[in-house]
Amino acid sequence: MSEPAAIPAHRALGLTDAEYDLIVEKMGREPGPVELSMFSLMWSEHCAYKHSKKLLGQLPTEGRYLLMGPGENAGAVDVGDGLAVAFKVESHNHPSAVEPFQGAATGVGGILRDIFAVGARPIAVLDSLRFGEPDGTRSRYLLEHAVAGIGHYGNSIGVPTVGGEIYFEPAYEQNCLVNAMALGVAPHDRLTRAAATGPGNVLILFGALTGRDGIGGASVLASAELGEDDAAKRPTVQIGDPFAEKKLLECSLELLDRELLVSLQDLGAAGLTSSSSEMASKGGLGLDIHVDRVPLREPGMEPFEIMVSESQERMLCVVEPSKVDAVLAVCEKWETTATAIGEVTDSGHLRVIQNGAVVGDMPVIALVDDCPLYDLDPVKPTEPIYPAPPRTLRADDDDVQAILPELLGAPNIASRRAVFEQYDWLVQSRTVRRPDEADAAVLLLPDGAAIAVSIDGSGRRVAADPYRGTVEAVFECAANLACVGAEPLGLTNCLNFGNPEKPHVAWQLTESVRGMADACRALDTPVVGGNVSLYNESGGGPIYPTPVVGLVGRLPDASRAGRLGFALAGDAIAVVRAASPSLPGSELAKLRGEALPDGLPERNVAALRGAIELVRDAVRNGIVRSAHDVAEGGLAVALAEAALAGGIGAKVDLAAVGGHKRESKPLDVQLFGEGPGTFVLSGPRELLSELKAPDGVHLTVKVVGEVGGDALEIEHEGGTLAWSLDSLRDPRERGLADALDDTVRLDD
């Protein structure tokens, strides 16, 4: 390995002197180069969760529907009918910042492998993206290429991309976030764990050939802030090959269906090193790996290169000797290279062998479990961390008539059509609710029930209040599920934060995890898995703390899945409200160039949950014809979205909305104020007027207007506001599309 003579190798590899000394202690000697490179990966933040593991312990991981919790490649919940749904979200932030198309594409490839590694057939992908403001060329370039990369991989492999979210904030200018979530289905008995068992069993590597891809890639990248010398990391960009992964996927599932495998594990970050040591660790055994047997794409690769290579589209499995031939035959059928590269031993050691000579010999426990876990020293910052954004609002502050169309065209609110039309959202014939049709994607199950899934995490609100902002993110997902009639089964998350060694980031992280834990408990929803991405702060300081939440739920009857668009002229419109909205930290406040508030209002969590259950039941019982939760842009934007989605107007009386705080708020707060716990429903008047808040729950349910016409009319104390649907549709449709249209991409 070539690093300046000045720095000792372990530091160049991201290990502290103390960590190095501990390695020497555990080894009883100085590690050789192969061992050092492997330790440096296994003890990296990405693999060892050095700065997050202690916090993650707070997250509830028990639940009624839980089948497989954190610790496996993906978590899984029971969806009835003998079926399980496995899901997980993972980040590919740094690779995407270096090469957005391939970075995003291989991000999707990686999370899909986690899904079929547990024996589930991938049925859906969602993406969660964060960029700087789209008026910047670099941000537009990243957006265009990341979206194209996600589409390229998901579309080509035949897994629908059914949902996602995109936010644009200056805080992401230097650090875009690219998180991908995937879901898969499996019969309960096909769920597979990664533990290597049975000494004497054979270790088979199958899939793509091993090249010098991402040598010291993701793991090292993910553990050090991106420096000026990104270029130095470029030669090792990983190229995604969805065609190879499609064959790998079909091959893996056939191997499992034929019960030919003892265990299965994907190769992700840290390649063979982490996949093999994780398998050995989970089985409490050892492994011998013969690097000379690994099929290579490039000649003359060093043993350490083979062990740390992050070449994509590879899997590792443990097979009983008697089944090896059958396994190789299935791989042959799928044109997938498969090679026996080692065996399970009872040594408790991971041994790397080259042409009979041992070039690495490490206790598995030392590699996997002995990395020191660090306590954070969180300190709430006394100064604001994030500068106020520039004012971009063209309308006067009190010109609410002009503000609504402008909000609808704002990058964070405008239609995502230009993005989701680049994704195949329908392959596999399960998509009951497509993008823009409902607040959550709905996927049909064989028994006529359905899965609903939503992904969310507003970094701005978490930046304003890490605890309450994270609670809001979880409840936002639950609200989305409620609007299609689904009950949460399990949650996954990806914690995207800055450098945890800095006290204010440590505080953000600590508060955010505490909020997530409390919100999950409030909703009786376990965390089944996730991912952590730290050190997202190159150049312009830390990103907004961004816990991306993915929530998966179930509804008993797919044919009753809710829609967000108003449906029928004459239907009544009702507003359900559990908390009163406010402007600080809102989209409008951002457009007005206001700095983030120091904290968000406290919420009555029982009331939030009550509202969610009321809406869920209303949708399930067919009482409503539309349900939409109020989020960015507040009530006025939610009404406009429901009207545009249904292609029909509405008349609403603001005074009737009320809210449990009686004093009437300024008009802009009533129209554009944000906060969890507000829903817009429509349906037959006689049914809607029956809706009542359960006793003792602090909740208002009011019929406030009627569906009809081709304009949105809002009555308020001061008079009546009216917008033709066209005057709202145009800015909403163009807001993001325009940013994408002027970027060119030759096929990557």
Partner 1 sequence: MKMRVLIRPKAGILDPQGQAVERALPALGFDGVSQVHVGRLVELDVADPAQLPAMCDKLLANPLIEDYEIVSVEQAAPAS
Partner 2 sequence: MKFGVLRFPGTCDEVDAQLACERVANAEILWHGDRDLKGADAIVIPGGFSYGDYLRVGAIARFSPLMESVIDFAKQGGPVLGICNGFQILCEAGLLPGTLLPNSTLRFVCRQVDLTVERTDTVFTNACEPGETLSIPAKHTTGCWYAPKQLHEQVEANGQVLLRYAPGQNFNGSLADVAGVSNEAGNVFGLMPHPEHAVDPLTGSVDGLTLFASIRDSLAAHV
Ligand X SMILES: Nc1ncnc2c1ncn2[C@@H]1O[C@H](COP(=O)(O)OP(=O)(O)O)[C@@H](O)[C@H]1O
| 295 near partner 2 (CB under 8 A) | no
Q: Which of 34, 42, 59, 126 binds ligand X (CB under 6 A)?
A: 59
Give the Cα separation of 471 and 163 in Å (integer): 21
Give 420's DSSP letter.
H
Q: Could you give the dihedral angle defined by the CA atoms of residues 632, 637, 639 and 643, in that order, rounded to the nearest 10 degrees?
A: -120
Contact between 161 and 424 (Cβ < 8 Å)? yes
Q: What is the amino acid identity at position 364?
A: V
Q: Pattern 226-265, binding to ligand X, x per CB under 6 A?
A: ----------------------------------------
Which range in 71-79, 296-304, 374-382, 651-659 contacts ligand X by CB under 6 A?
71-79
Number of residues that bind ligand X (CB under 6 A): 18
Tokens 């995502």 belong to which residue? 416
Which range in 66-74, 366-374, 408-416, 573-581 contacts ligand X by CB under 6 A?
66-74
- Nearest residue to 175 (alpha-carbon basis) of 458, 593, 536, 455: 536
Q: What is the amino acid identity at position 339?
A: T
Give the Cα separation of 362 and 289 in Å (integer): 12
Binding positions for ligand X, 24-53, rule CB under 6 A: 47
Q: Which of 10, 94, 212, 314 binds partner 1 (CB under 8 A)?
A: 212
| 746 near partner 1 (CB under 8 A) | yes
Binding partner at 530 among Mg ion, ligand X, partner 2, none, C-beta below 5 to 8 Å by kind: ligand X
Give the Cα separation of 672 and 665 in Å (integer): 11
Q: How far is the CB of 211 from partner 1 (least distance, A)?
A: 6
Q: What is the amino acid identity at position 54?
A: K
> 277: which residues sit within 8 A by CB, 6+ positions away?
38, 42, 287, 350, 364, 367, 368
Give the Cα separation of 179 and 214 in Å (integer): 19
Tokens 């690994």 belong to which residue? 294
Number of residues that bind partner 1 (CB under 8 A): 25
Closest CB to Mg ion among residues 272, 578:
272
Q: Which of 57, 71, 381, 448 binds ligand X (CB under 6 A)?
A: 71
| 73 near Mg ion (CB under 5 A) | yes
C-beta nearest to Mg ion: residue: 73
Which range in 16-24, 67-75, 344-352, 715-723 contacts ligand X by CB under 6 A?
67-75
Give 70's DSSP letter.
B
Q: Which of 334, 544, 566, 679 binds partner 2 (CB under 8 A)?
A: 334
Binding partner at 112 among ligand X, partner 2, Mg ion, none, C-beta below 5 to 8 Å by kind: none
State both tokens at 417.
């059509």
User: Which of 10, 46, 152, 628 does the annotation list as catalytic?
Assistant: 46
Q: What is the amino acid identity at position 605?
A: V
Closest CB to ligand X among residues 309, 493:
493
| 77 near ligand X (CB under 6 A) | no
Contact between 686 and 624 (Cβ < 8 Å)? no
- Nearest residue to 710 (alpha-carbon basis) of 566, 511, 516, 532: 566
Binding partner at 73 among Mg ion, partner 1, partner 2, none, C-beta below 5 to 8 Å by kind: Mg ion
Closest CB to Mg ion among residues 13, 194:
194
Binding partner at 309 among ligand X, Mg ion, partner 2, none, C-beta below 5 to 8 Å by kind: none
Which range in 29-37, 263-271, 724-732, 739-747 contacts partner 2 by CB under 8 A?
739-747
State both tokens at 310.
């992050």
| 459 near ligand X (CB under 6 A) | no
Q: Which of 61, 70, 141, 156 binds partner 2 (CB under 8 A)?
A: 156
| 266 near Mg ion (CB under 5 A) | yes
Q: What is the amino acid identity at position 154?
A: G
| 58 near ligand X (CB under 6 A) | no
Q: How far is the CB of 335 from partner 2 (least distance, A)?
A: 6
Is 46 catalytic? The answer is: yes
Q: Which of 37, 415, 531, 700 binds ligand X (CB under 6 A)?
A: 531
State the CB neighbour count (10 A cutoff) for residue 250. 17
Count of all residues that appear for the chain in the document: 748
| 127 near partner 2 (CB under 8 A) | no
Give the Cα separation of 495 and 513 in Å (integer): 9
- Nearest residue to 73 (alpha-carbon basis) of 264, 259, 238, 249: 264
| 151 near partner 2 (CB under 8 A) | yes
Distances in whole angstroms, Cα of residue 300 to Cα of each of 131, 208, 679: 40, 17, 62
Binding partner at 748 among partner 1, Mg ion, partner 2, none, C-beta below 5 to 8 Å by kind: partner 1
Q: Pattern 158-177, binding to partner 2, x per CB under 8 A?
A: x-------------------
Give the Cα separation of 181 and 685 in Å (integer): 39
Contact between 514 and 89 (Cβ < 8 Å)? no
Contact between 561 and 433 (Cβ < 8 Å)? yes
| 335 near partner 1 (CB under 8 A) | yes
Number of residues that bind Mg ion (CB under 5 A): 4
Binding positions for Mg ion, 93-132, rule CB under 5 A: 114
Contact between 526 and 61 (Cβ < 8 Å)? yes
Closest CB to partner 2 among residues 21, 257:
257
State both tokens at 497.
């934060």
Output phi, psi for 584, to 5 deg: -55, 130
Q: How far is the CB of 456 from ligand X (least distance, A)?
A: 15
Can you tell me whether residue 352 is helix, strand or coil?
A: strand
Q: How far is the CB of 95 from Mg ion (least distance, A)?
A: 16
Binding partner at 165 among partner 2, partner 1, Mg ion, none, C-beta below 5 to 8 Å by kind: none
Give the Cα separation of 258 and 63 in Å (integer): 31
- Nearest residue to 453 (alpha-carbon basis) of 472, 427, 425: 425
Q: Which of 114, 127, 476, 587 binds ligand X (CB under 6 A)?
A: 114
Q: How far is the CB of 315 from partner 1 (least distance, A)?
A: 17
State the CB neighbour count (10 A cutoff) for residue 376. 18
Interface with partner 1 (CB under 8 A): 98-99, 102, 208, 211-213, 234-235, 237-239, 241, 243-244, 297-298, 311-312, 335, 742, 744, 746-748
Interface with ligand X (CB under 6 A): 47, 56, 59, 70-73, 88, 90, 114, 268, 493, 495, 527, 529-532
Interface with partner 2 (CB under 8 A): 148, 151-152, 155-158, 241-244, 246-247, 334-335, 420-432, 434, 444, 558-559, 744-747
Q: Catalytic residue numbers?
A: 46, 92
